[in-house]
């Protein structure tokens, strides 16, 4: 069974630009969550999607947004990029949206903002 896939793996952007990251969950998994990992703040929750609906959102500015498609694939978008947005963005999927499910992570997208 294929794992969680994320594209692209690496991305370099300049301040002020916007970026879209993509995540394909494990087959049969309907919940997708996004996390940001930085050396200073560690791993922080961004948002969770289930059945194309955002169920939960972390403490991030409105520049960070996301969506989920009917096939459970998810995208996150960051507009007006800032230097501090440089991070590893990790996507995780879990099955059926049950509260007891384990989250399985993808390889991440490493975003560098210059």
Part in contact with another protein (CB under 8 A); list of ranges 16-24, 55-63, 67-75, 77-85: 55-63
- Angle (CA) 81 83 84, round 5°: 95
Residues 6+ apart with CB under 8 A from 87: 36, 37, 38, 110, 111
Site string for another protein, 8-27 (x = CB under 8 A): --------------------
Q: Minimum CB separation from another protein for residue 62, in Å? A: 19
State which of residues 7, 56, 71, 80 lies at the interface with another protein (CB under 8 A): 56
Tallying the residues shown for the chain, one arrives at 114
Residues 6+ apart with CB under 8 A from 44: 35, 36, 37, 38, 58, 59, 60
State which of residues 58, 60, 67, 86 lies at the interface with another protein (CB under 8 A): 58
The gap between the terminal CA atoms of the chain, to the nearest Å, is 37
Nearer to another protein, 86 or 103 (CB): 103
Footprint of another protein (CB under 8 A): 33, 35, 42-43, 45, 48, 50, 55-56, 58, 88, 90, 92, 97-108, 110
């Amino acid at each position: 069974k294929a794992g969680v896939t994320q594209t692209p793996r690496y991305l370099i952007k300049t301040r002020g630009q916007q970026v879209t990251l993509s995540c394909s969950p494990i087959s049969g998994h309907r919940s997708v969550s996004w996390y940001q990992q930085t050396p200073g703040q560690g791993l922080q929750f961004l948002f969770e999607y289930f059945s194309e609906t955002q169920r939960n959102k972390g403490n991030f500015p409105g520049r960070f947004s996301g969506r989920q498609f009917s096939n459970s694939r998810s995208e996150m978008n960051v507009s007006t990029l800032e230097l501090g947005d440089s991070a590893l963005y990790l996507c995780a999927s879990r099955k059926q949206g049950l509260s007891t499910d384990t989250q399985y992570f993808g390889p991440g997208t490493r975003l560098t903002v210059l």
